[in-house]
Amino acid sequence: MNITRENVDALNAVVKVDIAKEDYSDKVEKILSDYRKTANIPGFRKGHVPMGMVKKQYGKAVLVDEVNKLLQDALNKYLTEEKLDVLGQPLPKQQDDIDWNGDGFTFEFELGLAPEFEVNLKSKKPITHYNIIADDKMINEQVERIQKQYGKLVPETEVKKESEITGTFVNDDRDIENKVTLTLDKFKGKATEKKFIGAKVGDSFELKTKGLYEDDHELMHALKLGHDEVHGLDITVTFTISEINKRELADLDQELFDKLFGKDVVKSVTELKAKIKEDAEKQFVQQSDQKLLNDVTEYLVENTKFDLPAEFLTKWMQTAGEKEMDLDQAKEEYEKSEKSLRYQLIEGKLIEENNIKVTMEDIKDHARKMIKAQMAQFGQMNPSDKELDDIAARVLSNQDEARRISEQLISQKLLELYKEKANIKEKELSYEKFVKEVYGDK
């Protein structure tokens, strides 16, 4: 067997594999001999079928199968030994004139080669890493939400601005009849609020659905309709009040603190606010880090310049998926996936150059921590090592889950690399200001 390579250009090559008769003949003869021993052909005793008949019936199929096995093994070995960094998979060149009766065969494969490039993490313009804090306004709002949640309802005779109103929305034409509890602050504009103020149990009034709420999701809940159904909905509904209550805030006392965090974990309002701040800012770190990861990824894709073997990859995509695509579909798919492919190459280079690795022990340790945190949510604070190991083993027996954890750990290590080596500036701001700056007033 002989394998040669011709480089078409820096990104494309053709590999030629010459297979001689001696490479496969002994194996083919052995398989056919085994077939002869077990073949059941009418008119012949088992094991006494003429070899010529066995070759005529099975010879070509066995030959083709063995040549294909040789071909794949040789090609994979060649790519490994030559340390060729290929994209996609080798594509066999079309051959319509293979003479399977000949004494040897030649096959050609197209290769798409990964480009050579350098990655520079130091952007000219610094990339912002946000330090998001829970300010007093946010903490006080959370304290009030807790007091409302654990407070008690007191009946009222008429609707006031802070009332909780229970009633039923009805529209016979659309078969709507849905009982809800609502507060006036969810409505859009003051006109609807004015209709409710002073109303009593049993009162009914008509409301236009268009512009009733600031958020369509509130209208979905109020009318018990799907998202597509409420989008642009412009009908009249009747709302009839069945209950009016005032929610008295719960006292900020030890009983409430114990209910929220366990006995004596929090002992004062000051400690409550500190705990709320600590818990909120832990969540903000994840959001801030994800934003940094996204921004560095975007910078790297936009500023790391290299060419790709686009024509080869488009051709490869035609047959790579579960369903074959025509050329136009493959071009569209390539355009959609090019950015992702570029980042995979950049990420791979960063991982290699910075010796980033994730071991099986890393994956097991992460799984154990994840499981322990989940168990703590259900009150199981001190699981044994054996319990954690057994559950982790079951989780990691799922290859998709093991791969997901591995990818998560790689992302964490890349994030640490970016924080260390990229041009990053820190910016401290409240969560409210972070949302406005990053996502706009939505």
Residue 226 above 70 pLDDT? yes
Strands 127-133 and 424-430: parallel
| CA angle, residues 268, 269, 273, in degrees to nearest 5 | 120
Q: What is the mean pLDDT of the chain?
A: 91
User: What pLDDT does residue 441 have?
Assistant: 56
d(CA 148, CA 165): 15
Which residues, other chains included, contact 441 with Cβ-Cβ below 8 Å and sequence gap of 6+?
Answer: none
Give the tens place of pLDDT for each residue, 56-95.
Answer: 888 889 999 999 999 999 999 999 999 999 999 999 998 7
Q: Could you tell me if 165 and 333 are in contact, meaning their C-beta atoms sit under 8 angstroms apart?
A: no
User: What pLDDT does residue 179 have?
Assistant: 95
Residue 415 above 50 pLDDT? yes
> Hey, where are the domains in the chain?
2-113, 152-248, 273-439
Second-level CATH architecture of 152-248: Roll (3.10)
- Strand-pair partners of 132: 429
Give the tens place of pLDDT for each residue, 389-410.
Answer: 999 999 999 999 999 999 999 9
Residue 442 above 50 pLDDT? no
Q: Could you tell me if 222 and 176 are in contact, meaning their C-beta atoms sit under 8 angstroms apart?
A: no
| CA angle, residues 379, 264, 382, in degrees to nearest 5 | 30
Task: Answer positive or negative: Cα dihedral of 415, 420, 421, 422.
Answer: positive
- Matching fold, domains 2-113 and 152-248: no
User: What pLDDT does residue 377 have?
Assistant: 75
Residue 134 above 60 pLDDT? yes
Where does the pLDDT of residue 232 fall: very low under 50, low under 70, confident under 90, or very high at 90 and above? confident
| Six token digits for residue 186 | 């969810």
Please provide the CATH number assigned to the domain covering 2-113. Answer: 3.30.70.1050
User: What pLDDT does residue 100 have?
Assistant: 86
**Euclidean distance between the first and final Cα of the chain, in Å?**
65
d(CA 89, CA 83): 15
Q: Which residue has the tokens 């009040």?
A: 241
Q: Could you tell me if 250 and 260 are in contact, meaning their C-beta atoms sit under 8 angstroms apart?
A: no
Report the pLDDT averaged over residues 290-300.
Answer: 95
